Amino acid sequence: SGFPIYLINPDGTGLQPTGLAGYSVDLRPDLLKLAIGGVDGSLYTANVDGPGVLPLGGLGSYPKWSPDGTQLLFIAAGSSTMRNGSSGGGLLSVVNADGTNLRSLGVTASDADWSPAGDRAVLTTFSYESESMAGDLFLIGADGSGLEPLGVQGYCPRWSPDGSRIAYVGHTDEL
């Protein structure tokens, strides 16, 4: 369940309904599969042309394909206070693309992105206590090891394609 998911060419042509619905979506690097977070919390993959829907056995949102297309990073349903001290969001988790080996990385997050090498992720926490509700940014190993604060707060962290920089939306002028 959710909102219709479409594909479109970067020049605005070729609008194509997929026949799928969700709340969040990511396109696999080879462009053949979608990862979808449903409004009801379901997490699944599907072929871009609609068939081949595979439930991943977990509840979550904001799935992100690993650079090699073999795993998904996502925010699992539920919230708690974890080792990074955040509250809100859900557990940052990883699952193989076939639904096997579901595992939590042991931190809460509201958004995350794989590094281009796929060996770690950048994440942002979410805090109800903060007036801006901006979270702290952290790096974490793909296996949940090496949690490292970046010393800034913001939203929507994204790695550069070459892995040399991380872009994010700040909540204040940090310069």
pTM: 0.85
User: Distance between CA 38 and CA 14 in Å, rounded?
Assistant: 24
CA nearest neighbour of 73 among 140, 165, 128, 20? 140
User: Distance between CA 94 and CA 141 in Å, rounded?
Assistant: 11
pLDDT by residue for the chain (175 residues), tens only, comes to 689 999 999 999 999 999 888 989 999 999 999 999 887 788 999 999 877 889 887 788 899 999 999 999 999 875 444 334 444 578 999 999 999 999 999 998 989 999 999 999 999 986 555 555 568 899 999 999 999 999 998 888 999 999 999 999 886 655 5
B/e letters for 89-121, b = 16+ CB within 10 Å, e = fewer, are: bbbbbbbebebeebeebebbbbbbbbbeebebb
Question: 105 and 119 in contact (C-beta within 8 Å)?
Answer: no
Measured between alpha carbons, how far apart are the two ends of the chain, in Å?
42
Give the position of tokens 């599969």: 33
CA nearest neighbour of 67 among 123, 119, 118, 140? 118
In a 13 Å sphere around the CA of 130, the CA atoms on its Cβ side amount to: 16
User: Distance between CA 107 and CA 174 in Å, rounded?
Assistant: 25
Give the position of tokens 């042991």: 106
